[in-house]
Chains A and B, each alone.
Chain A
Amino acid sequence: MTTTNTGVTSPDIAVPDEVKDNVFITNIAKLLDPVYNWSRRNSIWPLGFGLACCAIEMICAASSRFDLARFGMEVFRASPRQADLMIVSGTVTKKMIPIIVRLYNQISEPRYVLSMGACASGGGPFKEGYNVVDGVDKFIPVDVYVPGCPPTPQALLNGLIALQEKIDQQSIATAPWYRKNDPTAEMIPIPRLGPDLYDMRQVDLIKAEAVKAAQEAQEPAAEVTN
């Protein structure tokens, strides 16, 4: 547990000299943050969700030799509603990404995504393939990347510790999921499968390209008729 917020008397508040040694001034968030983060970081429930080879190493990390239970993470939940963390363990394909985005949308806040292995981070050795998404972060925000192909269970644990460190930096006072108009709570539009995968956020661009292509196709035709 890191306690970055030990009591420092604030210069704004005048404290009588006689009680100075007995007074500890801080704000409530700073007091609660360590407790809040400590409990959150030690009870991250991952989504029971394996994609490819890395999932096997994830299971190994959860089994006896590496034992995720030491971090309070052994509770692999089958339902995204009960999970806090999504370990994207393996190659993300175009056929699978709509489901991954849907699952991500269903995880309640605060939610974290750990991209395990080269494939999930950037397509990995299969990047050149036609059915592979070149990085799950093209669609959902990723908190921690764990490189390796596959990362050994210890490398995964290292990534999970990095995630815990990230959680330690968060504060109740600034956590977006307690705010109104939480930007992180937005549903990510689910990509669709047309002739190829398309991101709903890029529809305008695709349409513009289609119009351009149609014009280009017409121009030579017009020349011929002239």
Chain B
Amino acid sequence: MSEMTLEAPVAGVKDHSPEATIALLKERYPEHISDDARDGYEGIIVHPDKIVEISRDLQSELGYNYLASLTGVDLIDDNKLEIVYHTASIKHGGNPLVLKVQVDRDNPVLPSVTPIWPGAEYQEREAFDMYGFQFEGHPDLRRILTWDGFHGYPLRKDWREPFYEEDNKPFGSRWPGGEVFRAEERNLYGKNVQYPAGWMPEGDEIEAETDSYAGITYSRDQSPDIKTEKVTINMGPQHPSTHGVFRMAITLDGETIMGLKPVMGYLHRNHEKIGERNTFIGNIPYTDRLDYISSMSNNHGYVLAVEKLMDATVPERAEWIRILMVELTRIANHLWAIGFLLNDLGALQTPMLYYYIERELILDFFEAASGSRMMCNYMRFGGVAYDLPDDVRGQPVMKFLHDLIYERLPKALNQGDQLITGNEIVRARGMGVGYLSPEDAIAYSAAGPVLRASGVPYDLRKANPYSYYEHLDFDVAVRYNGDIYDRFLIRVDEMQQSLRILQQVLPHLEETEGGAINDGKPQYAIRMPKAGEAYGRVENPKGELGYYVTAKRRDANPARYHVRSPSFINLTALEKMCIGHKVADVVAILGSIDIVLGEVDR
């Protein structure tokens, strides 16, 4: 990759911190930028007219070339809707720069930033779907998580779901006069449904499977001599290789892919709406179910975000335990991802089964430590829920971990290496397929292994360090070809690095044996001492996982709770990777992105 693309041509700018950049922007656009003066908030509020220009300046000149997250917020008290942009600098790392645009709640129109950051495409569609923002200049503004024709904008604060009980948990009907009921018993239709008053079913409502070809063109080829047609085919949501209920509409010319539109929302379980009803602590087990293969990392991101709001301090032992858990999760996740990728490539089952044996051992440890194999619910604000267990599968815990980290897992990785890395079929299917250039990877907001396999060494553990990662010695895995094979190799590299980290963590765990693992006493009702916003980001196995949480003072429920999920945003680049390849490569490319639908659809 040329140095030019990464190194922004910032003439004379020395300081790349968000504060300095904001000062620079203020000089340029004094009329259109104001500080976000709300208590506990950061960043700047930008006038909607200038957001595109300011974004362009940030992206092309000032080094903030990566749009980490874009989300809507409903400020119902001010009768406004807000879009929050988190932009980051790939080259310089550090904290993200926060931009906000506020628009009228009744007429939420603002320009789209997709011309600058194509990675905003699905995020803007989501904001449209959930809040009703109208993005001018967006190439394809349709519902993304719900379906066309859905009534209302569900994340608006005044929108109520059919089983609405109260705005916030805990619900009053549970105690002290708790008479059990099933919510459907109180619904006229006996189901989780509601219809707008006076709505009459016509019978011509869009059927589920036809509504999504809208984004893709079905066209007749104009070549005069040969009569060819492009065909649109459907893949999913029930398909063995879509890693869940994911669906793609693909336009083909012969077998070559000309266009591809992902269709999502088949697992949209309203994580954010429920999360805003929940108490802060009640969201922890829900985060387990986002990326259900790596629940520990999800916990970590969420508690980091809320700890920023609380100013909590985490005891040393708890931090080491967190890193232990998170890195083991990374290995478990990559074992799973590689197993499935190879499954998609045709290595049916064998590597997958071998890898799962190792994953089961990691799950055994999680189960012994937290009580559940997958839904760990292990971290708490200011620490972790429990200390390490005494023993795992009949062995003292430290011996188990030592054997796992020093013997079992390296051996398994080595075996996987022998089994697959040199395999000619894997190389033939993987090399040069699904190429994503570094420029595109950044533009599409790709994260995690997808970004790093394209030659962009951006890892939040180094770029914007959290927890104790500063004190640990490890390398950012990076590969330069940006194809399926490199995305496979980079996961192996990352597992090696995780093992390296784990080997450094073990002595610390022994040192801090018996130390505190939680800050203060366990509290079932956490109230935020102060108002404000926080964006907690961690390097999830799949990429940057961010939680945007806002709180009101003395409130036990988040006012806004948004998840920036890496799987969802990585999919934005899927079409780019697939075009020009054969239809059989789609599953492999999808497998190499490693999505989890719980996180894509939330």
Contact = CB atoms under 8 A, between A and B. Distances in A.
Q: Do chains A and B touch in the complex (CB under 8 A)?
A: yes
Nearest to B155: A130
Given A128-B277, A138-B190, A217-B198, A95 B240 contact: no
Contacts of A197: 191, 193
B244 A50 contact: yes
A206 B201 contact: yes
B400 to A, nearest CB: 17
A147 interface: no
A129 B274 contact: yes
Interface string B584-599: 0000000000000110
A51 B201 contact: no
A53 B373 CA distance: 11
A130 B191 contact: no
Interface in B103-153: 145-147, 149-151
B29 interface: no
B161 A130 contact: yes
Given A194-B195, A195-B149, A130 B273 contact: yes
B198 A131 contact: no
Nearest to A57: B374
Interface of B: 145-147, 149-151, 154, 161-165, 182-184, 188-201, 205-209, 211, 237-240, 244-245, 265-270, 273-274, 277, 285-286, 289, 292-293, 352-353, 356-357, 360, 373-375, 597-598, 601
Contact of A52 (B161, B205, B292): B292
Interface string A21-40: 00000000000000000000
A134 B192 contact: yes
Nearest to A135: B184
Given A131-B270, A138-B191, A52 B206 contact: no
A127 B195 contact: no
Interface in A39-77: 48-53, 55-57, 59-60, 63-65, 76
Contact of A126 (B190, B269, B293): B269
19 contacts: A51-B244, A52-B267, A52-B292, A53-B598, A65-B356, A78-B239, A96-B237, A99-B237, A126-B270, A128-B165, A130-B162, A131-B269, A138-B184, A190-B207, A192-B205, A194-B205, A206-B189, A209-B195, A210-B198
Contacts of B238: 49, 99, 103
Given A96-B237, A193-B147, A209 B188 contact: yes
Contacts of A95: 146-147, 208, 265-266, 268
Contacts of B245: 50-52, 96
A134 B191 contact: yes
Name the interface size band of chain A. 35 or more
A57 B373 CA distance: 9
Contacts, number: 192
Contacts of B149: 193-195
Contacts of A57: 373-374
Looking at B163, B195, B267, B601, the one whose CB has the most chain A CB atoms below 10 A away is: B267
Contacts of A214: 198
A99 B269 contact: no
A182 interface: no
A52 B268 CA distance: 10
A152 B164 CA distance: 31
B374 A56 contact: yes
Interface in A140-180: 149-150, 152
A99 to B, nearest CB: 6
Given A93-B268, A95-B268, A195 B274 contact: no
A131 B208 contact: no
Contacts of A20: none
B239 to A, nearest CB: 7
A202 interface: yes
A51 to B, nearest CB: 6
B195 A91 contact: no
A210 B163 CA distance: 20
Contacts of B598: 52-53
Nearest to A129: B270
A152 B373 contact: yes
B597 A52 contact: yes
Contact of B189 (A55, A195, A205): A205
Nearest to B289: A53
Contact of B192 (A76, A133, A194): A133
B273 A129 contact: yes
Given A192-B205, A193-B205, A132 B269 contact: yes
Contacts of B194: 196
B183 A127 contact: yes
A63 B195 CA distance: 44
A132 B165 CA distance: 16
Contact of B183 (A52, A65, A128): A128
B277 A131 contact: no
Nearest to B263: A95
A65 B483 CA distance: 33
Interface in A176-208: 190, 192-199, 202-203, 205-207
Nearest to B164: A128
Nearest to B355: A63
A224 to B, nearest CB: 18
A93 B247 CA distance: 14
A210 B199 contact: yes
A195 B150 contact: yes
A76 B269 CA distance: 26
Nearest to B154: A130
A90 B267 contact: yes
A132 B147 CA distance: 13
Nearest to B242: A50
Contacts of A103: 238
A133 B165 CA distance: 17
A63 B353 contact: yes
Nearest to B163: A128
B206 A60 contact: no
Contact of A193 (B182, B199, B208): B208
Nearest to B288: A53
Contacts of A190: 207
List the 8 closest A-B pairs by CB distance, nearest first: A129-B270, A195-B151, A130-B161, A53-B292, A98-B208, A126-B269, A213-B197, A194-B205
Contacts of A194: 149, 195, 199, 201, 205
Contacts of A196: 150-151, 162, 193-195
A125 to B, nearest CB: 7
A213 B154 contact: no
Contacts of A63: 352-353, 356
B240 A48 contact: yes
A150 B195 contact: no
A195 B164 CA distance: 17
A66 to B, nearest CB: 9
Contact of A195 (B195, B239, B266, B597): B195
Nearest to A138: B191
A214 B197 CA distance: 8
Nearest to A90: B267
Interface string A74-99: 00101000000000001101111011
Nearest to B356: A63
A210 B198 CA distance: 4
Contacts of A133: 191-192
Contacts of A209: 188, 195
A73 to B, nearest CB: 15
A24 B273 CA distance: 66
Contacts of A98: 207-209
